[in-house]
Amino acid sequence: MRSQVAIVGAGPAGMFLGHLLRAAGIDAVILERHDRPYVEGRVRAGVLEQITVDLLERLGLGARMRREGLVHTGTNIAHDGEMFRIDMHALTGSSIMVYGQQEVMKDLFDAAEKTGPKIIFNAEGVTPHDIETDRPFVTWRVGGADFRLDCDFVVGCDGYHGVSRTCIPPSVLKVFERVYPFGWLGVLAEVPPANHELIYCNHERGFALASMRSPTRSRYYLQCALDERIEDWSDDRFWDELCTRLGPEAGAQVVRGPSFEKSIAPLRTFVAEPMRHGRLFLAGDAAHIVPPTGAKGLNLAVSDIIMLSEALEEFYRDHSAAGIDGYSARALARVWKAERFSWWLTGLTHRFPETGPLERRLQTAELDYIRTSRAAQTTLAENYVGLPLLPVRAPSPTELA
């Protein structure tokens, strides 16, 4: 088989890239080791930046999002029972959209069935080869048979545990990582949300987040120890703890009901540099992980893909390598800003093992500053709704090396 681009992974990064390349007339094949129900069914992000909303519209995939998504012009912060609102739209002119990743994936897969790109599911042992040459290829197995795809470029969109990043030599790859000493216990329940917008809660017992997926489906999170067991958290215990942390105002609005999904997710900050080596590019979780506090994971994958698709389109249209040479530096500049925001918001709202009276007072002072300062609220709002893409710049000799 032959294709201009081989995409490893049919998650958000891989699917968005496949659609963008198809729209540009660039042939791509997506290789996914799971089946569609598995990929589509993973419970993930639910907050879309304006850049992600705009891309769905640009691809002609925004109709259902417009009907079912929830536009949020602001967000709320609660601190030991007192809550204040940040009007993101008034401060930045932008909003966010609450529309679950599962719904985004359904829209991307449905469109692919009609117009492409080509997806090969259940591809086992996907492996890129010869990425340091101008003739890379990818091999895999389906049903015991071996296959090979020759291509011009390989794009690794196969997540944190994928094979693509391991193809970059250790002497080249730099990894920056922090594993947080706590996780998020999350539940989904068919109950109306406690508020029409998100509530981020800083409480002496730990962080809480009141979110939603629709007007009738709520998504709630509690900070918990990494050694907690899901079976020790009955629904009643979860609702009691959530209401305590949200405080009397928001807690009184919580509608209780049976949860149909409950899980504990660890928090991690992770960045791999560079995001391009030879004819291999990394995008999305294959290159970076952010704590979910800032709602950046899916949106960072989208910004990577927009930059990479622009670079590949320039390569095939203008026979110019400027875009692909500058992709890593351009993408990482936005990645690190999103990592900074997620790190800052996590530190502001969570309890760490070292959080004592001094750290608690500092958190309180910063939250009070945000509550009373338009400048501080603007900084938070600008980062939350999503920073703009950086313009293309020429890579430095160090980056090219």
Q: Which residue has the tokens 């008034």?
A: 90
Per the annotation, the verdict on 296 as an active-site residue is: yes
Return the structure tokens found at 25: 């007339």
Q: How far is the C-alpha of 316 from the C-alpha of 321, rounded, in Å?
A: 9
Catalytic residue among 200, 220, 221, 327: 200
Per the annotation, the verdict on 292 as an active-site residue is: yes
Per the annotation, the verdict on 221 as an active-site residue is: no
Q: How many helices (H) and strands (E) does the chain have?
A: 12, 20
Per the annotation, the verdict on 99 as an active-site residue is: no
Max CA separation in the chain (angstroms): 64
Q: Is the dihedral of CA 310, 36, 53, 303 positive or negative?
A: negative
Q: How far is the C-alpha of 149 from the C-alpha of 129, rounded, in Å?
A: 10
Q: Which residues contact 158 (CB under 8 A, 6 or more apart)?
A: 8, 9, 11, 14, 33, 126, 164, 286
Q: Is the dihedral of CA 47, 49, 53, 58 positive or negative?
A: negative
Residue 134: CB atoms within 10 A of its CB come to: 9
Catalytic residue among 117, 193, 292, 395: 292
Q: Is the dihedral of CA 278, 317, 30, 297 positive or negative?
A: positive
Return the structure tokens found at 224: 């918990």
- Helix (H), strand (E), coil (C) string for 191-239: CCCCCCCCEEEECCCCCEEEEEEECCEEEEEEEECCCCCHHHCCHHHHH
CA 82 to chain centre: 29
Q: Is the dihedral of CA 314, 133, 173, 167 positive or negative?
A: positive
Per the annotation, the verdict on 128 as an active-site residue is: no
Q: What are phi and psi of 187, to 5 degrees?
A: -135, 150
Catalytic residue among 79, 277, 288, 296: 296
Q: Which residues are catalytic?
A: 72, 200, 292, 296, 384
